[in-house]
Structure 1
Amino acid sequence: MGNPTGFINLGRALPTERHAGERLIDWLEVYDDMPKAEVEQQASRCMDCGVPFCQSAKSEFAPVVAGCPVNNVIPEWNDLIYRGRWQDAVELLHKTNNFPEFTGRVCPAPCEGACVLGINADPVAIKLHEKEIIDHAFAEGWVTAQVPSARTGKNVAVIGSGPAGLATAAQLNKAGHMVTVYERADRIGGLLMYGIPNMKLQKELVQRRVDILAEEGIVFVTNTEVGKDINAEQLESDFDAVVLCIGATVPRDLQVEGRELNGVHFAMEFLSANTKSLLDSEHKDGKFINAQGKNVVVIGGGDTGTDCIGTSLRHQCKSTVQLEIMPRPPEKREEKNNPWPQWPKRLLVDYGQKEAIEIQGQDPRQYLVMTKKIESDEHGNVKAVHTVDITWQRNDKGQMMPQEVAGSEKVLAADIVLIAMGFIGPEGGLIEQFGLEQDNRSNIVAEYDKFTTSKEGVFAAGDGRRGQSLIVWAIDEGRRCAREVDSYLMGSSYLP
């Protein structure tokens, strides 16, 4: 490496966050830009570690063992940044990742969890460097459409325009196939467009990449739901191969008294409507679930729950509470039960919690809490959420089960309740129409690294195949699936 003592001399540094009072009145990104010279310095912290665990991950060990699913060659482009060779860095980054402007913002960075420096120090800020490489490349005009020099005469339909669908389409287009992407929403991007709030991923960045893909020859068809507006049989007739990248969009529901009340919503209903209204009219159309002046209770402690907190605060809600049924994570990785290079299970205070702490004076999260019922007012609207504290204990079968703590019942004021408990699998209908085999979790049966379904010429990739996962795994699956489709169509493939 260019600076063999960088990891000794320099501590980890990240961009400054915009003040909560400033960023809560807009929908722009949370972080300021980091000066280029500082990024180059930070890149020198990347060690000549011999075996860079950061840049590889195996599907069969995910998510326990950390590492980069798309196999970004991280030490190499860190060294290029340090040496000021930014254009070389973006070319190397694009060889493994089609959309670093997305992963550099919303990926939870399993690469950093596996960073060798992280054994006894703060890991290299890999995610930041990835973002800075691609942002600098766009600013310099280095990212342009690369139209294939020849076409194969083969046509492929991709259903779904989330990260898996876009990655599949991008790679197949590079191989010279004509690709048509079908999306039921009015904008391309799937979860990137409507599932992730604007302050985490500004939508002009998504549209910028979609425009490049369209210039490269990919055809995007919006407002078209395959299975309803166009059936499976027609697609199989019109295309040489079909790839299902439909995601895992069925939310896990909350089975308690009062679930049916007005004001109880799935998190994605809340987030998607908010983003669509923001893009359509800057919220002037009123077609969103407005939390202004309301007490918001979010049930679920993951990233989606955090996004609900951040969005509610930007609506100027009265209060926010986030309920988590699991224990509070430790402040630091527990070496005995959670050794490196496993994904570090430790307490993180994300942007939404930081904003709530600044506005409300405390972290909105409450741990080891179970919802007992949702109380109604006289008009059928949410009035309160009844909770009880729990402990986790093993039953006679050895299973960990929640046990209520006597006398710990509480009543939380609530006008809006948002269910953010994850997703259980892909939606039905389309899968049945194609006649595909499903596993016991309702996912499409298609072996990883093969992606072939139970039907000839039909492939599946992403969350609809593997279950709810990370954006970087979706991109990995899309790229690998494209290689298998290319081999199916041409007999072999030069795609990575």
Structure 2
Amino acid sequence: MGKATGFLEVDRKTIGEMDPKERIKGWNEFKVHPKEEHLKNQGSRCMDCGTPFCHTGHMVSGMASGCPINNLIPEFNDLVYRGRWKEALERLHKTNNFPEFTGRVCPAPCEGSCVLGVIEPPVTIKNIECSIIDRGWDEGWVKPQPPTERTGKKVAVIGSGPAGLSCADQLNQAGHLVTVYERADRIGGLLMYGIPNMKLDKGKVVQRRVDLMEAEGIKFVTGCEIGKDTTASELKDEFDAVVFCTGATKPRDLPIPGRELNGVHFAMDFLTTNTRHVLDTEFDGSLPELNAKGKDVVVIGGGDTGTDCVGTSIRQGCKSVTQLEILPRPPASREEGNPWPEWPKIYRMDYGQEEAAALQGEDPRQYLVMTERFLDDGNGNLTGLEIIEIEWGKDEQGRFVPNKKEDTRRTIPAQLVTLAMGFLGPDQEVVEELSLETDPRSNIKAEHEKYTTNVEGVFAAGDCRRGQSLVVWAINEGRGAAREVDRYLMGVTQLP
């Protein structure tokens, strides 16, 4: 480590952001790049902690504790402190194919398990990671590096989200001929259409990496839905191995009275429509047909998707935005049952809530609320919601269940509702075509660290195997699947 007393001398300070009232005027990324001296100081806070839990990547209490891809965090923190940026980038790329993605959208479980975080605010690991890769691109250090030899083995990767891209990148580095199939019109999956542009720039960040991978020899096929435009069986016959990285794309619905009304939409449909329109019109300020302009918007559900719906609705010019959460408001600090190094389940305001608070004067979230029905204007259009407060208790079997507080029933106005309640698993058509076994949650059954399905030569990784999860877990799984595919094809593997 560079400075033994850094954590005693320097306070945690994250990188800046544009003022919420300014950044909501457009769709550009709103993070402000910090100066080098700031990053060196923050890197100096990394302790000589003996056991760096930040890069262990274990699951603790069902949540990631430390980096799931085992980034060499103390090493790159030290190198940044010493001003050795190119070496820091080399360390980062050893474990992470796409640090420009994780440095922007990962919730940073590494910081939740930072040893310094036991007594002080943790090291700004995510900020430092993003700054390393951004500098690498700016300096021209990130260049195409195609493999020097080819094995002649052909692999098809279905899906171009973070799992598919990391799998393809690793297999290509091993010398295999990789083709990635994507049913959308652009490569990136969740990275392209599931995350708004202000959070992850599509041209300067996502497409830039895709272009690099293409220059390294990976073939990308867009607008090709497996099961319709070509069959999974045809891919299996044509390629030596097939990897499913299709994500968990079936959204959880809310089957209550009024669900069929105009104005009730799945969150991902809302987000995808907006991002596609923004990109197709080259940021000309126009809005897609499905938009929030002038409307009272209600987002049902939390998490990143809910936050993205809030931020998108605000930029489209909504009249108001409310976010409903069925769970209680988290505490301000760790409770006794949530010790370090578990992920800290504490109250936070993400960018969307910050923007709503700047405009409306308060956090848009209402906690411990359940929606009873959607209200009709008589012509099939949404006018509002009937909601009721709940409290959590246990039933006779000891399971937690929501109990309604009847005297709290009320209505709130809404002309647009987005359902952001998570996802249930992958689309089943192609799974059924190949007779792939699934687990009780309808995910493709493939053992972790093996990624092999019940069908010879067919593998699965990412959300379609593990269920809805983080981008960083998808990268972990894509890398792991590539390793096992390489072993399957060659008998041995050198991939990590």
Give the TM-score normalised by structure 2. 0.98
Cα distance in 1 between the residues matched to 2:300 and 2:369:
10
Look up the SS of the partner of 2:131 in the other structure: helix
Give the whole-Å Cα distance in 1 for the aligned partners of 2:19 and 2:320.
Answer: 19
- Where structure 1 has 5 or more consecutive residues not aligned to the other structure, the ranges are none
Question: Is it true that 1:290 corresponds to 2:291 in the alignment?
Answer: yes
Q: Does 1:409 align with 2:383?
A: no
Residue 138 (1) aligns with residue 125 (2):
no
Conserved? CA contact 1:65–1:341, under 8 Å: no
Q: 1:22: how far off? A: 1.2
User: Distance between the aligned counterparts of 2:394 and 2:6, measured in 1?
Assistant: 48
Q: Which amino acid aligns with 2:113?
A: A
Give the SS at the match of 1:482: helix
Match of 1:86 in 2: 85
Instruction: State the distance in 1 between where 2:287 and 2:28 align.
Output: 20
Secondary structure of the residue that 2:448 maps to in structure 1?
coil
2:394 aligned with 1:394, yes or no? yes
Match of 1:313 in 2: 314
Instruction: Give 3-state SS (helix, strand or coil) of 1:374's partner.
Output: strand
Q: What residue in structure 1 maps to residue 273 of structure 2?
A: 273
Residue 286 of structure 1 deviates from its aligned partner by 4.7
- Contact kept in structure 1, 2:287 and 2:316, CA below 8 Å: no
2:108 maps to 109
Q: Secondary structure at the match of 1:407?
A: helix
Deviations 1:273-299 (A, max 9, x none): 000000001366753411111000000
Matched-pair contact (CA < 8 Å) for 1:253–1:421:
yes
Deviations 1:9-54 (A, max 9, x none): 1110011220122111111112211111100110000000000000
SS in 2 for 1:112: helix
The residue that corresponds to 1:462 in the other structure is: 462
Instruction: Indicate the residue corresponding to 1:191 in structure 2.
Output: 190
Where in structure 2 are the equivalents of 1:40-439 lying within 5 Å?
40-58=40-58, 61=60, 63-204=62-203, 205-281=205-281, 282=283, 286-334=287-335, 336-439=336-439
For residues 427-456 of structure 1, what are the alpha-carbon distances to aligned partners after superposition, in whole Å with 9 as ceiling and x for unaligned?
110101111000110000000100000000
Amino acid at match of 1:80: L
Are residues 65 and 229 of structure 1, via their aligned partners in 2, closer, same or farther at CA, if it must alter by over 3 Å? closer
Q: 1:350 to 1:285 in 2, by over 3 A?
A: closer
- TM-score, normalising length: structure 1: 0.98
Partner secondary structure for residue 423 of structure 1: coil
State percent identity of aligned pairs: 59
Cα distance in structure 2, aligned partners of 1:317 and 1:477: 38
SS of the residue aligned with 2:450?
A: coil
1:123-164 CA-partner distances (Å, limit 9, x unpaired): 000000000000001000000000100000000000000000
Shift of 1:63: 3.9
Alignment RMSD: 1.0
Which whole-Å deviations, capped at 9, do the CAs of 1:175-226 have from their partners, x for residues lacking one? 0000000000000000000000001100011000000000000000000001
- State whether residues 63 and 343 of structure 1, in contact with CA within 8 Å, keep that contact through their aligned partners in structure 2: no
CA contact 2:333–2:347 (8 Å) conserved in 1: yes
* Per-residue Cα deviation, 1:52-88 (whole angstroms, up to 9, x for no partner): 00001135x4743511010001000100000000000
- Residues in 2 aligned to 1:383 and 1:224: alpha-carbon distance in whole angstroms: 38
Inter-partner Cα distance in structure 2 for 1:328 and 1:27: 29
Deviations for 1:403-434, whole angstroms, at most 9, x for unmatched residues?
A: 01121011110000110000011111010111
Change (3 A) 1:284 1:50: closer
Other structure's SS at 2:408 match? coil
Residue pair 1:43, 1:79 contacting (<8 A) in 2 also: yes
Q: Which amino acid aligns with 2:189?
A: G
CA distance in 1, matches of 2:93, 2:61: 23
Letter paired with 2:264:
V
Instruction: Measure, in 2, the Cα distance between the counterparts of 1:235 and 1:294.
Output: 46
SS for the counterpart of 2:340 is: coil
Q: What is the CA–CA distance in structure 1 between the aligned matches of 2:180 and 2:423, rounded to whole Å?
A: 24
In the alignment, the residues of structure 2 paired with residue 47 and residue 399 of structure 1 have an alpha-carbon distance, to the nearest angstrom, of 42
Once the two structures are superposed, residues 287-329 of structure 1 have per-residue CA deviations (whole angstroms, 9 ceiling, x without a partner) of 3411111000000021111100000000110000000000000
Deviations 1:369-428 (A, max 9, x none): 000000010221100111000000101110110001121011110000110000011111
Q: Which amino acid aligns with 1:329?
A: P
* Distance in 2, Cα, partners of 1:339 & 1:225: 45
Cα–Cα, structure 1 residues 65 and 465, in superposed 2: closer, same or farther, change >3 Å? closer
AA paired with 1:370? Answer: M
| Distance of 2:167 and 2:452 partners within structure 1 | 14
Distance 2:305 2:241 in 1: 34
One-letter amino acid of the structure 2 residue matched with residue 441 of structure 1: R
SS of structure 1 residue aligned to 2:411: strand
User: 2:482 is aligned with what amino acid?
Assistant: A
Query: Does the CA contact (< 8 Å) of 1:301 and 1:420 recur in 2?
Result: yes
Native 8 Å contact 2:55 2:66 kept in 1? yes
- 2:232 & 2:198 partners in 1: Cα distance? 37
Change (3 A) 1:230 1:237: same
